[in-house]
Structure formats: C-alpha cells, structure tokens
C-alpha cells in the first residue's frame, strides 16, 4: 500500500494562503489522493480528493503533481477555524485509506 | 449530512473484560470501518466491512473482532481487554464500492483500560 509523508507542523497567519505538501512516491495508477482534517476532540473530516487533475471545492484546492508522486492542499485564506491536523491519504482499490502522521496547522491571528 | 454515531465518547474498562464499541450510520452506506488512533502513529485500520455479515481484517486486527448484523451498525469487540488497547477508536462509513468515495467519521470513543 502506498505511504504518505507530510511535515509534522506548519504555521500560517490568518487571512493568508496555506500550502500543505504531501509526498506519496509509491502511489499506483488507480489510487486516489484524499485529504482529511481533524479538529480537536472530533473525528477526521473529509476535505477533498483527486486522481490526476487539480480539484477545487468550497473548502480547498488540491494540486497534484504531473507524476502523481506529490500533492499540495491549498487553503486560500486561512482562518483560526482551520487550525487542525491535516492528513493526506491514499485510497486504493479496496477503499482502504492509509493515514500517515499528518501536519498540524497552526494559524496565528 | 451523513451522521456516524459512536455510542460512547469516553469509556473506562478493566483488564480482561469483554468490551463492545458500537457505531451506527444513517446514510445506508455499504462500507464501514474501525480505526484506532494513537499519538505519533496516526490512524490504523483494525477491521472493515463491505456488507452485512461480511468482514475483512485491516492492518492491526489482533485482539479485536467485529460484528455487522445490520447494514447501519458495525460493532468492534475487544475479546479480553488489555492495557495496550487504551486508545481513541474511530468508526467511519462510505457509500458503495467505488474507490473515490470519501469516508465519514464519527467523533470517536476514547477507551481506557485499567
């Protein structure tokens, strides 16, 4: 199963864009890339997913490298409520997710 | 919105007890999952189920079993609880068998084994 690597933590200022990187160098051709986030005392929450093309939704954008070995979650304007642990995961054909340690995002006012 | 409900937010049990963690989803999802979450280790899959009465082992099934008698309910069973099973347990569900479907999580049960 493909594994993911993310920085342990990142800081951002409120109202500024945030780029959260993820490496998944062993990803296979049919694996989807999913991002989840986990707020304190809550279960993970789905953010966005994609296969090859860049994706946008109301929460974030997902930029996927051409070789698919890395991706970047983009929060266009960070708010204090975006402070969370962000997980990059790979969703294989069995619909199983492989979670890494995630990136703790801290947002400064 | 999809709702995944775990029966307890906090649970304290003793070593050797048989422990049941219950999870119910209200969106008629085929797939259900049990994870445990430990500091520094992320989420690890214990068991999952694609259909009623069907189960598959995940990455760390030892010491656990599951039951899915109805589509909406997925139970995790600790046959004889041990202190190394103290953890946060998360249940999730997703629709169909498509590989692109996101998972919806409950808020977790923090289980302490004394």
For A10-61, write each residue's pLDDT tens digit: 999 999 999 999 999 988 888 889 999 999 889 999 999 999 989 999 989 9
A96 vs A88, more confident = A88
Size of interface A-B (CB pairs under 8 A): 58
Of A93, A100, A101, the CB nearest to B99: A93
Average pLDDT over residues A69-79: 96
pLDDT tens, residue order, chain B (114 aa): 669 999 999 999 999 999 999 999 999 999 999 999 998 788 899 999 988 989 999 989 999 999 999 999 999 999 999 999 999 999 999 987 655 788 899 999 999 999
Chain B residues with CB-CB distance to A2 below 8 A: none
pLDDT in the model for residue B29: 92
Q: Does A96 touch chain B (CB under 8 A)?
A: yes
A43–B99 C-beta distance less than 8 A? no
Alpha-carbon distance B112 to nearest alpha carbon in chain A (angstroms): 16
Q: Quote the CA–CA distance of A79 and A64 in Å, as a whole number.
A: 24
Secondary structure (H, E, C), chain B: CCCEEECCCEEEECCCCCEEEEEEECCCCCEEEEEEEECCCEEEEEEEECCCCCCEECCCCCCEEEEEEECCEEEEEECCCCHHHCEEEEEEEECCCCCCCCCEECCCEEEEEC
Q: CA-nearest residue of chain B to A44?
A: B105
Sign of the dihedral defined by the CA atoms of residues B50, B76, B44, B110, in that order:
positive
pLDDT in the model for residue B76: 98
Chain A residues with CB-CB distance to B58 below 8 A: 96
- Mean pLDDT across chain A, nearest whole number? 91
């Amino acid at each position: 199963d493909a594994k993911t690597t993310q920085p342990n933590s990142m800081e951002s200022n409120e109202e500024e864009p945030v780029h959260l990187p993820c490496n998944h160098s062993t990803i296979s051709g049919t694996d989807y890339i999913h991002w989840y986030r986990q707020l304190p005392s809550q279960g993970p929450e789905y953010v966005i997913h994609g296969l090859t093309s860049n994706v946008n939704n109301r929460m974030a954008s997902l930029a996927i490298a051409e070789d698919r070995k890395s991706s970047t979650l983009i929060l266009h304007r960070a708010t204090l409520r975006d402070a969370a642990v962000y997980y990059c995961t790979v969703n294989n054909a069995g619909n199983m997710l492989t979670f890494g340690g995630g990136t703790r995002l801290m947002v400064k006012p | 919105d999809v709702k995944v409900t775990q029966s307890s937010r906090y649970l304290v049990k003793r070593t050797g007890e048989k422990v049941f963690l219950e999870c119910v989803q209200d969106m008629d999802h085929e797939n259900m999952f049990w994870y445990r979450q430990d500091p520094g280790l992320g989420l690890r899959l214990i068991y999952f189920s694609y259909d009623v009465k069907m189960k598959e082992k995940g990455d760390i099934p030892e010491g656990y079993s599951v039951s899915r008698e109805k589509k909406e309910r997925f139970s995790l069973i600790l046959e004889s609880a041990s202190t190394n099973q103290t953890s946060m347990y998360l249940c999730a569900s997703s629709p169909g068998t498509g590989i692109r479907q996101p998972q919806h999580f409950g808020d977790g049960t923090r289980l302490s084994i004394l």
